[in-house]
């Protein structure tokens, strides 16, 4: 199964190192491959180094593509992570 969803970075600091590390941890919980499309870039959501090259500040919209048996669960978990600002206060 392949699911695509756009997620908005709403935390103040953007997808900075620690937030991106949280994203990797969540993506790693699932078997599905998750690719993030942003402009001409495509990066593996399980790669912290790839995520850093996105330089996604607050307000950036990223397109997530989950492909695999648990794609639906993966996308739900990722969505939650973004909505909760990666566990950050602001």
Partner 1 sequence: MSEKIFHGVPASGGIAIGPAYLYHSQGLTVSRRKLKPEEVELELKRFQEALAKTRSQIKGLEEKAKEKLGEEHASIFSAHQVLLEDPLFTEDVARIVSSDHINAEFVLHEALEKFKTVMASLNDEYFRERGGDIRDVGNRVLRNLMGKGDKEELKKLDKEIILVANDLIPSDMVNLPTETIKAFCTDVGGKTSHVAIVSRSMGLPAVVGMQKATMDIHDGDLLIVDGNKGLVLVNPRPHIIEQYRHLKEEYVAFQKSLEAFKNLPAVTPDGRRVTLAANIETPLELDDMARHGAEGIGLYRTEFLYMNREENPSEEEQFQAYKELAVKTGDHPAIIRTLDLGGDKFLSHLNDSEEKNPFLGLRAIRLCLKRPDIFKIQLRAILRAAAYGPIKIMFPMISSLSEVLESKVLLQECAEELKHEGQVFRSGIEVGVMIEIPSAAIIADILIQEVDFFSIGTNDLIQYSMAADRGNESVAYLYDPLNPAILRLIHMTVEAAHKAGKWVGMCGEVAGDPQFIPLLLGIGLDELSASVSVISEIKKIIRMMPYEKAKEIALAATRVKTSDEVFEIIRDNVPAELKAILF
CA distance 58 to 76: 20
Candidates 4-12, 61-69, 70-78: pick the segment binding partner 1 (CB under 8 A): 4-12
Q: Of 10, 38, 72, 77, which one interacts with partner 1 (CB under 8 A)?
A: 10
Residue 38 is among the residues annotated as catalytic for this protein = no
**Site of tokens 């599905």:** 32
Binding mask 22-61 for partner 1 (x = CB under 8 A): --xx--x---------------x-xxxxx-xx-x-x----
List the structure tokens of 59.
């307000």
CA distance 7 to 3: 13
- Residues assigned a catalytic role: 16
Chain positions contacting partner 1, by CB under 8 A: 10-14, 16-18, 21, 24-25, 28, 44, 46-50, 52-53, 55, 57, 85, 90
């Amino acid at each position: 199964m392949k699911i695509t969803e756009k997620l908005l970075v709403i935390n103040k600091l953007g997808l900075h190192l620690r937030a991106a590390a949280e994203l990797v941890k969540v993506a790693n919980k699932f078997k599905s491959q998750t690719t993030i499309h942003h402009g001409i870039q495509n990066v593996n959501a399980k790669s912290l180094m790839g995520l850093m090259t996105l330089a996604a500040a607050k307000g950036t919209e990223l397109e997530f593509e989950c492909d695999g048996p648990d794609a639906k669960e993966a996308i739900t978990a990722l969505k939650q992570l973004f909505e909760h600002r990666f566990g950050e206060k602001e």
